[in-house]
């Protein structure tokens, strides 16, 4: 039985978030420049997105560029921005074919104008799609996002539009850039690193974490399915006891 057949489609995570890591090491292993790793990672993105659509995952969020990544060598940052523009442009066709709606979160204003333009174009074009929402985290920092949310609430309080006592978790969440998107049930990180790297800190509060040593350019839909299969074997207790969840056992 194939891995895909072993997955219980009635218990799929609604939202999977991925930290696509290891492009640089992958290229280095091959004696190539880091940029070659980033370029090769595009195939992994396409295969994973198609795999997610095939399985019926409605939300997929990919960490493509962190706020901290601006501190990389200028040439690498430039190459990543170019790759972003050309990939979004080239992949628009694949997104349309698969019914994928593109979305972006992060400090998007800090991206070069040509990136913003291409991003907006593809977001608009794919807005009619409804199979899966693909969110790219770009120039993203979770602490930045949380700080922005706090600032917007503070402004509303100052202007008398909101009472501090009315700020609860739902109100706070509505100010995050992921408002309207369910929290990820599963977070995958490639390349054998065991950290969150300032990614979706609020949203990952109860996510199952899955780490694989595979470097991102080697990651394919089968690896994605493997992670989902592993996820389905876990008992998610949310603070309760096992007996509470399964009283008949
Ligand atoms: C992930 O791969 C891609 C980005 C962060 C943009 P890396 O570039 O971090 O690759 P490693 O971790 O150095 O191997
Ligand atoms: C996290 O990867 C950001 C992305 C995958 C876009 P990094 O490679 O930048 O993270 P650290 O530096 O290892 O924590
Ligand atoms: Mg890395």
pLDDT in tens, the chain (249 residues): 889 999 999 999 999 999 999 999 999 999 999 999 999 999 999 999 999 999 999 999 999 999 999 999 999 999 999 999 999 999 999 999 999 999 999 999 999 999 999 999 999 999 999 999 999 999 999 999 999 999 999 999 999 999 999 999 999 999 999 999 999 999 999 999 999 999 999 999 999 999 999 999 999 999 999 999 999 999 999 999 999 998 887
Distance separating alpha carbons of residues 184 and 17, to the nearest angstrom: 6
List, chain by chain if needed, residues with CB within 6 Å of any ligand 1 atom. 20-25, 65, 69, 80, 191
CB 203 within 8 A of CB 17: yes
Look at residue 248 in the predicted model and tell me its pLDDT.
Answer: 81
Which ligand has the shortest distance to the CA of 66? 2
> Which of 156, 145, 153 shows the shortest CA–CA distance to 202?
145
Distance separating alpha carbons of residues 64 and 79, to the nearest angstrom: 13
Look at residue 247 in the predicted model and tell me its pLDDT.
Answer: 87
- Structural domains in the chain? 14-232 (3.40.1180.10)
Q: For residue 165, how far is its CA from the centre of ligand 2 (angstroms)? A: 37
Q: Which of 37, 64, 68, 70 to mutate to test the pocket of ligand 1 (most atoms within 8 A of CB)?
A: 37
pTM above 0.85, yes or no: yes
Helix (H/G/I), strand (E/B), else coil: 65: strand
CB 102 within 8 A of CB 126: yes
Q: Which of 18, 19, 20, 21 to mutate to test the pocket of ligand 1 (most atoms within 8 A of CB)?
A: 21
Distance separating alpha carbons of residues 19 and 21, to the nearest angstrom: 6
User: Could you list the active site residues?
Assistant: 21, 69
Side by side, the strands of the sheet bearing 100-105 are 100-105, 132-140, 59-66, 15-19, 186-189, 208-211
CB 21 within 8 A of CB 66: no
Distance separating alpha carbons of residues 56 and 161, to the nearest angstrom: 40
Look at residue 234 in the predicted model and tell me its pLDDT.
Answer: 96
């Amino acid at each position: 039985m194939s891995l895909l057949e072993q997955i219980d489609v009635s218990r799929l995570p609604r939202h999977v978030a991925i930290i696509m890591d290891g492009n640089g090491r992958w290229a280095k292993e091959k004696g190539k420049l880091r940029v070659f790793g980033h370029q090769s990672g595009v195939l992994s993105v396409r295969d994973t997105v198609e795999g997610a659509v095939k399985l019926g995952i409605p939300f997929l969020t990919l960490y493509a560029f962190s706020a901290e990544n601006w501190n990389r060598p200028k040439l690498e940052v430039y190459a990543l921005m170019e790759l972003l523009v050309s990939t979004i442009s080239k992949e628009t066709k694949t997104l349309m074919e698969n019914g994928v709606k593109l979305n972006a979160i992060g400090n998007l204003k800090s991206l070069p104008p040509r990136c913003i333009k291409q991003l907006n174009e593809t977001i608009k074009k794919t807005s009619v799609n409804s199979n899966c929402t693909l969110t790219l985290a770009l120039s993203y920092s979770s602490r930045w996002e949380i700080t922005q949310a706090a600032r917007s609430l503070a402004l509303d309080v100052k202007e008398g539009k909101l009472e501090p006592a009315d700020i609860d978790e739902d109100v706070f969440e509505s100010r995050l850039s992921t408002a309207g998107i369910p929290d990820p049930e599963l977070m995958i990180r490639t390349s054998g690193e065991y950290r969150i790297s300032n990614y979706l800190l609020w949203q990952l509060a109860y996510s199952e974490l899955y780490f694989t040593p595979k470097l991102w350019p080697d990651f394919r839909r089968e690896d994605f399915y493997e992670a989902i299969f592993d996820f389905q074997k876990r008992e998610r207790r949310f603070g309760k006891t096992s007996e509470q969840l399964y009283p008949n056992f």
